[in-house]
Structure 1
Amino acid sequence: MLVGASIKKWCWLCWDFLPVSLLRNQPEDVLLAVYLSCFVLNPVILPIVLRGDTPLGNATTADFRNGMVIRYNNELWTITEFHHVSPGNWRAFVRTRLKNLKNGRVIEQRFNAGTDIDEVRVEHQNWQFLYVDGDDYIFMNTETFDQRPVPKEMFGDAIKFLKEQDVVEMLVDDNENTIAIELPNFLELRVESAEPGVRGDTATNVTKPATLETGAIVNVPLFINPGDRIRVDTRTGQYVERVK
């Protein structure tokens, strides 16, 4: 429900003419009545809302938090870092690091303090990867045991590290639609093939290609052998360490 300050965001065309003192500390049903009346009485706002083109968001930079999903430039992003900055006499702003939920691309973006933001409400759920069915990856909810197909293109490059039984985080909207899939930052995988390692060579600055159990190829140190288990960063696709 949109109440209080949120109504001000939506009723921007007539807010200046409303007796604000009458709305302050009013019950939610009164505020909702004002909100709905705005649509009925104002012939400009109603068509905009029906088209879904409301010019202002449902949150501001003051609501930022890690893991928050926002719509920015017509794409979905999750906030991985944010810092409020107040540079003396200059206007305050928020510096953020955003991760694209479709392709995993990470950018740094600055927002002026108080900027309206379009937040996308999502629920984080754990789903286990079962098998591949054509171009779909079949997952099972670890709590309800429901199964769901997810298109391959939703994963990005990190899909090459996914193996059966791995548990991922699925972002689901209010209509139970899958918004994005997030793999764990690190996964342990078995090396299927690689050139034999050099005995006693523990150098990590010289690498060789190795094929993992999922078919992915990563560069590993010379001492890694077939059958070894290694930890891979799914965000960068790089070798991290050999698992003891």
Structure 2
Amino acid sequence: MPKINGNEIRPGYVLEHNGGLWSAVKVDHVKPGKGGAFAQVEMKNLRNGSKLNERFRSADKVERVRLEQKDQQFLYETDGMLVFMDAETYDQIELPADLLGERRPFLQDGMTIVVEFHDAEALNATLPQKVQCKIVETEPVVKGQTAANSFKPAILDCGVKVMVPPFVGQDEEIIVNTETFEYVERA
């Protein structure tokens, strides 16, 4: 695995540090008036989710890990485990449902997601950025209310509550951003 200098760390990099795999969440480059510059890195453990703040000087060498990304198709959920299938090899894997966190409700039958592996160990799962959902409950459209840039609450078929423009009605299909939980457009 390639070693990089401490000042080359960027958000999203996966590093091997203290015997664990860490994802760089936030990186601040600090140049104090006295002493050398360093990178203040907020990291998240990919195995247990713990967080760590670490200081890396430019002379420090750290191991950057490249994760293998594979497309996996969602099949079903059983006992808190999500079962996925590799589209090429038809191998099935089980991942804990809490791996997706608060984005779990957006996972739909047959959806293809990207799973990141390190030596055959699944560490991370990413949903598509945009997902199509149906509105099951929202307030009716009121004439003359579209002049202001106002939004109204709506409950989706997956149980998630989002804010939608006033012209969107019940039983309509919409596109939702899975990262920000925001309305994007009508489907």
* TM-score, normalisation: structure 2: 0.73
> Structure 1 stretch 158-167 or stretch 193-202: which is displaced more?
193-202
- Structure 1 counterpart of 2:57, one-letter code: N
Write the distance in 2 (CA, Å) between the matches of 1:202 and 1:132.
41
The alpha carbon displacement at 1:213 in A equals 2.1
Q: Which runs of 5+ in 2 are unaligned?
A: none
1:219 and 2:163 aligned:
yes
- Structure 2 counterpart of 1:132, one-letter code: E
C-alpha change, 1:104 and 1:195, in structure 2 (3 Å) is farther
1:137 and 2:82 aligned:
yes
Write the distance in 1 (CA, Å) between the matches of 2:43 and 2:180.
15
C-alpha change, 1:105 and 1:162, in structure 2 (3 Å) is farther
Q: For residue 206 of structure 1, give the secondary structure of its aligned residue in structure 2.
A: coil
Write the distance in 2 (CA, Å) between the matches of 1:160 and 1:81.
27
Greater relative contact order, per chain length (Cα 8 Å cut-off, separation 6+): 2
1:112 and 2:57 aligned:
yes
1:69 and 2:14 aligned:
yes
Partner of 1:236: 180
1:149 and 2:94 aligned:
yes
- Structure 1 counterpart of 2:124, one-letter code: A
Write the distance in 2 (CA, Å) between the matches of 1:232 and 1:109.
35
> Structure 1 stretch 60-69 or stretch 84-93: which is displaced more?
84-93
C-alpha change, 1:74 and 1:220, in structure 2 (3 Å) is farther
Partner of 2:151: 207
- Structure 1 counterpart of 2:169, one-letter code: N
Partner of 2:106: 161
Higher strand share: 2
The alpha carbon displacement at 1:135 in A equals 0.9
Partner of 2:38: 93
The alpha carbon displacement at 1:130 in A equals 1.8
* TM-score, normalisation: structure 1: 0.59
Q: For residue 157 of structure 1, give the secondary structure of its aligned residue in structure 2.
A: helix
Write the distance in 1 (CA, Å) between the matches of 2:135 and 2:19.
40
Write the distance in 1 (CA, Å) between the matches of 2:148 and 2:79.
39
Partner of 1:182: 126
Write the distance in 2 (CA, Å) between the matches of 1:188 and 1:124.
24
- Deviation per residue, 1:134-175 (Å, 9 max, x gap): 31111111222222111112111111222122221111111x
Rg larger in 1 or in 2?
Answer: 1
Write the distance in 2 (CA, Å) between the matches of 1:103 and 1:158.
18
Partner of 2:115: 170
Write the distance in 2 (CA, Å) between the matches of 1:221 and 1:213.
17
> How many positions carry a matched residue from both structures?
187
